[in-house]
Amino acid sequence: MKINHCPFVEQDLLPLPSRDECLALMAAHGMLPHIRDHSLLVTEVAIFLGQVLRDMGFDLHLPLIEAGALLHDLGKTPCLGTAENHAHWGSDVLYSLGYPHVAQIVKEHVHLDPAAADARPLREAEVVNYADKRVLHTRVVTLKERFADLEERYGRTAAALSRIAATQAKALALEQKIFAPLSLSPLDLININQLRR
């Protein structure tokens, strides 16, 4: 099921879980502590970028970004050791709970939907997808470092390495799209690590 973006004036009517409800969902689905910590940092990065982009005039709904980022790995723990796709698993849970817009972000946090029906220059799903690509465990890193880790952990075959390389190319293109209108550079996000100490 594809969700079309609701016009900005209707965003206050979107069914969204609160931050506390997101944290409760993470606990209810047994999210491991290191995955929870990763999700909290992805949320910080996503909200930071979302706010900067909104300040530049982009039509982005920050509560939707926050919920999507908090819950992007909802299916990670339940899917460990299985062949299930954790993004689809988490998305299905959120659809069943009545949060279709959050579910769409969770579904797209690994691979964006190229056919997404949204005419805006940037979508909430893109912000969360990119933020996730910039967080390695509990540190903000460059895309190069993040994808080097993915190659080391998952690049056991030529096909796997090819998929990782394709995802990295898309992430670099998304990075250019996000930062083109900003006075920030992608390296500026690394400062979030110091702010958390």
> pLDDT tens digit string along 53-63?
999 999 999 99
Q: What is the largest CA-CA distance in the chain?
A: 48
In a domain, 3, yes or no: no
CATH code at 180?
Answer: 1.10.3210
> Is 99 in contact with 107 (CB distance < 8 Å)?
no
Residue 1 lies in a domain: no
Q: Is residue 8 part of a domain?
A: no
Could you tell me if 112 and 174 are in contact, meaning their C-beta atoms sit under 8 angstroms apart?
Answer: yes
Look at residue 148 in the predicted model and tell me its pLDDT: 97
Domain that holds residue 95: 14-195
Q: Is residue 145 part of a domain?
A: yes
24 in Cβ contact with 51 (< 8 Å): no
Contact 50, 44 (CB under 8 A): no
Residue range 78-106: mean pLDDT, rounded: 97
143 in Cβ contact with 133 (< 8 Å): yes
Report the b/e string of 132-146 with b at 16+ CB within 10 A.
bbbbbeeebbbbeeb
Among the ranges given (8-17, 64-73, 116-125, 178-187), the one the predictor scored with the smallest mean pLDDT = 8-17
Q: Is residue 137 situated within a structural domain?
A: yes
- Can you read off the two tokens belonging to residue 99? 């949060």
What's the pTM?
Answer: 0.92
- Position 5 scores a pLDDT of 45
Contact 192, 63 (CB under 8 A): no
Give yes or no for a contact between 46 and 69, defined as CB atoms under 8 angstroms apart.
Answer: yes
H/E stretch holding 87 reads: helix 86-96
Region 149-172: what's the mean pLDDT? Answer: 96
The total number of structural domains that make up the chain: 1
Query: pLDDT at residue 181 above 70?
Result: yes
Instruction: In whole angstroms, give the CA distance from residue 69 to residue 44.
Output: 9
**Does the residue 41 lie in any domain?**
yes
- Mean pLDDT (whole number) for 38-62: 97
Mean of pLDDT values over 174-183: 97
